[in-house]
């Protein structure tokens, strides 16, 4: 006949397995339910140009580094590994979402006479090229952190040369764990970068 302690061993093992399963579900950044769609919609920086120029600026569609050119929302839990939420996504690719935001922010700055998308057929003196180097929610720390890194290059179209270039970095903590908290933090990070980008274009023009 088995002793009571031996009879309890299978139940203890089962309890341990259940605890591990529940813990892994709690720690997972993914959520169940219907697919949810998000947008980038940061607040635009205020007008900063005291004396507007007569220049026209074209804004090309932002490029994206490998892994970020998709509507899938990226997250990471450890270095060198990139994952995507299965039930949470952007309404469009980050580059296509960012393009009108850049146009509106630079137009609102009051620095340029006109700001237009890069595929517009108008005469222009300058062009802004950008590349998304990182756009990810990092769960390796608590609270999770949203990271945005953007490279910008200002091109003199008449001379066909680069006037200035800079890499912008912003990191914001998520107000809540999960993809929605990451989206909020990414919008806040983008707000910071937009203000720095407008200042960058202003300074580059003054040094031109």
Q: Is 80 helix (H, G, I), strand (E, B) or coil?
A: coil
What domains can you pick out in the chain, each with its CATH number? 48-206 (3.40.50.10610)
Q: In degrees to the nearest 10, what's the CA dihedral of 184, 187, 192, 194?
A: -170
Is the whole model's pTM more than 0.85, yes or no? no
pLDDT in tens, 134-151: 999 999 989 999 999 999
Q: Is 106 exposed, middle or buried (0-12, 13-18, 19+ CB in 10 A)?
A: buried
The residue ranking higher by pLDDT, 127 or 6, is 127
Residue 4 has pLDDT above 50, yes or no: no
How would residue 2 be classed by pLDDT, with cut points 50, 70 and 90?
Answer: very low
pLDDT in tens, 24-77: 444 456 666 789 999 999 998 877 655 778 889 999 999 999 999 999 999 999
pLDDT at 52: 76
158: which residues sit within 8 A by CB, 6+ positions away? 125
How high is the mean pLDDT of the chain?
86
């Amino acid at each position: 006949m088995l002793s009571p302690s031996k009879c309890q061993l299978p139940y203890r093992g089962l309890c341990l397995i259940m605890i591990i399963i529940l813990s892994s579900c709690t720690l997972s950044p993914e959520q169940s339910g219907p697919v949810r769609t998000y947008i980038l919609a940061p607040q635009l920086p205020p007008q900063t140009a005291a004396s507007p120029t007569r220049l026209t600026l074209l804004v090309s569609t932002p490029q994206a580094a490998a892994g970020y050119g998709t509507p899938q929302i990226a997250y990471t839990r450890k270095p060198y590994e990139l994952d995507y939420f299965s039930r949470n996504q952007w309404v469009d690719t980050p580059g296509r979402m960012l393009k009108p935001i850049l146009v509106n922010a630079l137009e609102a700055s009051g620095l340029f006479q006109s700001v237009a998308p890069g595929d517009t057929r108008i005469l222009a003196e300058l062009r802004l090229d950008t590349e998304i180097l990182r756009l990810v929610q990092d769960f390796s720390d608590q609270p999770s952190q949203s990271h945005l890194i953007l490279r910008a290059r200002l091109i003199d179209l008449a001379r066909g040369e680069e006037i200035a270039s800079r890499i912008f970095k912003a990191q914001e903590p998520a107000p809540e764990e999960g993809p929605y908290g990451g989206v909020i933090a990414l919008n806040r990070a983008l707000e910071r970068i937009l203000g720095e980008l407008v200042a960058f274009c202003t300074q580059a023009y003054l040094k031109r």
